[in-house]
Structure 1
Amino acid sequence: MRVFPTHAASAGAVAAAFFFTLALAACSESPAPLRVVGGDATLGRRLIGQYQCGSCHTIPDVPAARGTAGPSLDRFGRNSYIAGAIPNQPDALGAWLVNPAAVKPGTSMPDLGVSPGEARHMAAYLYTLQ
């Protein structure tokens, strides 16, 4: 004797499969890059090259940015945290780029003399890295 699922059981299985599919789709989609008010990503990329951030980091589309002393920044815009502890938000990233030791005492990230305006542009570029 074959037992067939009831309509309610079938509907539940279909709903579960639907929500599981939605969850998988949400995990695979890239989040929209964070926007930095007043930031110019093209200028930010140039500033990152000018400040030689690539001597410590690998950074896409920045000439000679193949450093390995710091983490790769190739997917920086997807990171939840800056330096493993600071929520990755535009204001926090700007403060980090201007004065890393003030944000995370003891960090090995050097203070490069980046101005707040330059940091805004650099952050705009970093958030494009998905």
Structure 2
Amino acid sequence: MIGLAGATLVACADKSVPPRQLAGADAARGLKLIQAEGCGACHRIPGVKWPRGAVGGPLDDLSTQALIAGRFPNRPDVMIAWLRDAPAMSPDTAMPASGLTQDQARDVAAYLYSLDAD
């Protein structure tokens, strides 16, 4: 029998990442939205040559991360909500609310989830 501490270690040791696919979303359109919204002013994002911000951290390995902003589960529904209105989820975040619609946020999430951490 595994005790609570053992179960916690087993859970933390499992680094598998479920696939994060968004049916009907357009990753190429997501990249265009990322560029138009100016996300590169704070984040380093593959596919965005300039600007290359460092305040918000790099997003090149977002698809492999377990958490969004270090506190929310990295799932498409949560990512879309975060992209649309991060301050509603975390009032202390520096990330501003965007003007993205639900469909636009899905496209941006599709692009971010398409990135590899190579």
What range describes the TM-score normalised by the shorter chain of this pair?
A: 0.7 to 0.9
Matching residue of 2:115: 129
Q: CA RMSD in A?
A: 1.8
Moved over 3 A (4+): 30-33
Q: Offset of 1:87 from its aligned partner? A: 0.2
From 62, 72, 87, give the equivalent of 1:76: 62
CA deviations on 1:82-115 (whole Å, 9 max, x unpaired) are 0000000000000001110111221110112111
Kindly name which structure, 1 or 2, has the bigger radius of gyration based on alpha carbons: 1
- 2:74 equivalent to 1:88: yes
From 24, 47, 63, give the equivalent of 1:38: 24
One-letter identity of the residue aligned with 1:36: L
Matching residue of 1:8: none
Task: Check whether the contact 1:59–1:74 (CA below 8 A) recurs between aligned residues.
Answer: yes
Q: TM-score, normalised by structure 1?
A: 0.73
Aligned residue for 1:99, secondary structure, equals helix
Whole-angstrom CA distance in 2 between matches of 1:80 and 1:31: 7
One-letter identity of the residue aligned with 2:22: V
Whole-angstrom CA distance in 1 between matches of 2:18 and 2:77: 17
Q: TM-score, normalised by structure 2?
A: 0.80
From 29, 52, 56, give the equivalent of 1:66: 52
Distance change in 2, residues 1:125/1:65 (3 Å): farther
Aligned residue for 1:62, secondary structure, equals coil
Task: Check whether the contact 1:79–1:88 (CA below 8 A) recurs between aligned residues.
Answer: yes
Instruction: Give the share of equivalent positions with the same residue, in percent.
Output: 43
Gap runs ≥5 in structure 2? 1-14
Q: Structure 1 residues 49-58 or 109-118, which shifts more? A: 109-118
Gap runs ≥5 in structure 1? 1-26
Matching residue of 2:12: none
